[in-house]
């Protein structure tokens, strides 16, 4: 859930309207009230920035307190060295029985094979593939469209 700046700012200003009246009734000077308001505005903006730039870490019910949630998450982001062997990464293509599909796959460049391997065989989504391949998510989507066009042309 994101921080609704407009709504929270309205609430902040409404609360400060009440506080301003209470402080004035208590005998505080207008200058002191204004300084307190400015300080609270800084705190409000700091909190807004924090909520906009941080996300909760969903650990999926990790019951083992000895294991860090970050370790559990990162374990899914990297493949073991044996699986990252360049000679074996595309070996799943050899198991394709459809001749048309196989013909298109063997003609694809290595980076497109890697993209398909990450998506189809390892189950990563486009955002995760973008991080792994160090490209933008839009570039991943564009490469998928390019691959799809190659398959469509082969039909």
Please state the pTM of the whole predicted model. 0.44
pLDDT of res. 4: 65
**84-154 is a CATH 1.10.10.10 domain:** yes
Q: Which of 49, 124, 117 is nearest to 89 (CA)?
A: 117
What is the CA 5 to chain-centroid distance, rounded?
A: 21
Q: Which of 87, 76, 140 is nearest to 112 (CA)?
A: 140
> What is the domain partition of the chain in residue ranges?
5-52, 84-154
**Of 6-15, 87-96, 135-144, the least confident:** 87-96
pLDDT of res. 43: 86
Q: Once rounded to an integer, what is the mean pLDDT over residues 65-69?
A: 53
Q: 92: Cβ–Cβ under 8 A, 6 or more apart, which residues?
A: 117, 120, 121
pLDDT cut 90: percent of the chain above it: 23
Over the stretch 94-109, which tens digit does the pLDDT of each residue have?
A: 888 888 888 888 888 9
């Amino acid at each position: 859930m994101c921080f609704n700046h407009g709504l929270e700012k309205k609430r902040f200003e409404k609360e400060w309207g009440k506080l301003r009246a209470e402080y004035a009734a208590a005998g505080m000077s207008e200058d002191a009230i204004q300084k307190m308001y400015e300080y609270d505005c800084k705190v409000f903006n700091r909190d807004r920035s924090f909520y906009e730039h941080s996300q909760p870490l969903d650990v999926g019910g990790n019951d083992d307190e000895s294991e860090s949630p970050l370790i559990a998450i990162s374990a899914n982001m990297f493949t073991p060295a044996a699986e990252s062997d360049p000679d074996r990464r595309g070996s799943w293509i050899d198991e394709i029985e459809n001749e048309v599909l196989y013909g298109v796959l063997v003609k694809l460049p290595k980076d497109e094979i890697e993209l398909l391997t990450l998506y189809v065989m390892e189950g990563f989504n486009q955002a995760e593939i973008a991080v792994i391949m160090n490209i933008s998510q839009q570039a991943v989507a564009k490469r998928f469209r390019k691959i799809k066009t190659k398959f469509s042309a082969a039909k």
